[in-house]
Chain A
Amino acid sequence: MKDEDIIRLILKGDDELYSELIDRYSSKLYSTAYSYTHNHEEARDIVQEIFIKAYNGLCSFKADAKFSTWLYRIAVNACIDWSRKKKSKADMTIWNTDEMDILDSIVSETAGPEETLLKQEHKEAVRNSVDSLPEIYKTVLILYYFEELQVQEICNILDCPRKTIETRLYRAKGILKSLLKENLSGGEYYELQNL
């Protein structure tokens, strides 16, 4: 069943069908939220907030747009709101050590200890660099590289012309590159370049 058909039925009163939409999009939204928060609990909270907001606004959803685009728009706004709140609280604790342990254990299953450590450093460097980007560049970068969305989809979500998104991506990549250089020592950066 198409998203739009499900929405029509939900609006008629079959609320339980909303769980189908949650199944379809929760992983993607979780991944987006996690790209901003780097914290599983906060990512969960944001995803929950996104789905509840979307449910409450289902009446305003116009069938001429794609549901995924509409949902991503809510998601991006929720993530940006989260970033702003976080900044205003001046909470600089970005990395949750528990989450790092989880990641460590996952990676250690597939790689040797040295390689894992290196990868972990790379991950940290990339995440830190993405996190340091200005909001407009960070959003397009996450949507393009991490969520693997098409440029046109990003245009629809952010309601911007293609040229604007392309320019932001171009600049974001340039800034990220220089930030990675700052965050990694020469050898590591070279290694990262040759991934």
Chain B
Amino acid sequence: MSCKTYSIMLHSYLNNELNELETKEVSKHLEKCPDCTKEAEEIKKLKVLASAVKIDMIQLEGLKKNIMSAIRLTKKVRTLSYDIKVLSRLGTSLVACGVLALFLNFSALGSNLEAHSDKFDYRVQEIGQKIGQPISVINKGLSEMSNKIIDLNGITFRIQQRNRGGM
């Protein structure tokens, strides 16, 4: 491993975070490398410096209270929005029920209409019958008349033949 590789491992090494083998290797390297030893010393110094620079006074008074109030408010809003959701669902259900009821009413109306249409059909049939009856009588008369014409034609033909034969 190169010197830089060992240098990169120093932050973990100084926190005792390397495995046994890595720790041994780094320790062995530090014994013979003044640059890496200096680097390790600098990290230690910087740690001391950082702890000295860390904030000297933490102003947390009232912070917990503020957070908890915000959380309670969030919960209230959530509960309220849940209630609104439930209400809106209830409203939707009611509307659905209304639509269903309306639909059922329409179905009943439909069956009434059907009943009315049956009556109407019957009337139409009656009217049809009333119109059809005289026409069938006329038809009957016409067919009788045509039969008679045919018969009459036959008689006329026989008379003509007789007359030809008699001549």
**Residues of chain A at the chain B interface (Cβ within 8 Å):** 15-16, 18-19, 22-23, 26-27, 30-31, 34, 40, 44, 47-48, 51-52, 55-56, 102-103, 106-107, 119, 122-123, 126-127, 144-146, 148, 150-152, 162-163, 166-167, 169-170, 173, 176-177, 192-193, 195
**List of A residues within 8 angstroms of B12 by Cβ:** 151, 162, 166
Minimum CB–CB distance from B162 to chain A (whole Å) comes to 120
Minimum CB–CB distance from A51 to chain B (whole Å) comes to 5
**List of A residues within 8 angstroms of B60 by Cβ:** 26-27, 30, 44
The verdict on A52 contacting B74 (CB below 8 Å), with A162-B12, A166-B9, A173-B43 known, is yes
Select which of A55, A106, A148, A192 is within 8 A of B71 by beta carbon. A55
Minimum CB–CB distance from B60 to chain A (whole Å) comes to 6
Interface of A is mostly: helix
B53 and A123 form a contact (CB under 8 A): yes
Number of A-B contacts (CB under 8 A): 104
Minimum CB–CB distance from B59 to chain A (whole Å) comes to 5
**B57 interface hit (Cβ, 8 Å):** yes
Q: Bound state CA distance, A2 and B57, in angstroms?
A: 28
**B27 interface hit (Cβ, 8 Å):** no
Minimum CB–CB distance from A27 to chain B (whole Å) comes to 6
B45 and A193 form a contact (CB under 8 A): yes
Interface size on B, residues (CB 8 A): 36
Q: Could you give, for residues 13-25 of chain B, a 1 whenever the CB lies within 8 Å of some chain A CB and a 0 otherwise?
A: 0010100000000
**List of A residues within 8 angstroms of B66 by Cβ:** 48
Minimum CB–CB distance from A92 to chain B (whole Å) comes to 21
The verdict on A145 contacting B17 (CB below 8 Å), with A19-B64, A151-B12 known, is no
A15 and B75 form a contact (CB under 8 A): yes
The verdict on A22 contacting B67 (CB below 8 Å), with A126-B49, A170-B7, A170-B8 known, is yes
Minimum CB–CB distance from B70 to chain A (whole Å) comes to 5
**B137 interface hit (Cβ, 8 Å):** no
Residue of A nearest to B57 (CB): A106
Q: Bound state CA distance, A169 and B46, in angstroms?
A: 12
**List of B residues within 8 angstroms of A148 by Cβ:** 47, 51
The verdict on A144 contacting B11 (CB below 8 Å), with A106-B56, A119-B52 known, is yes
A51 and B46 form a contact (CB under 8 A): no
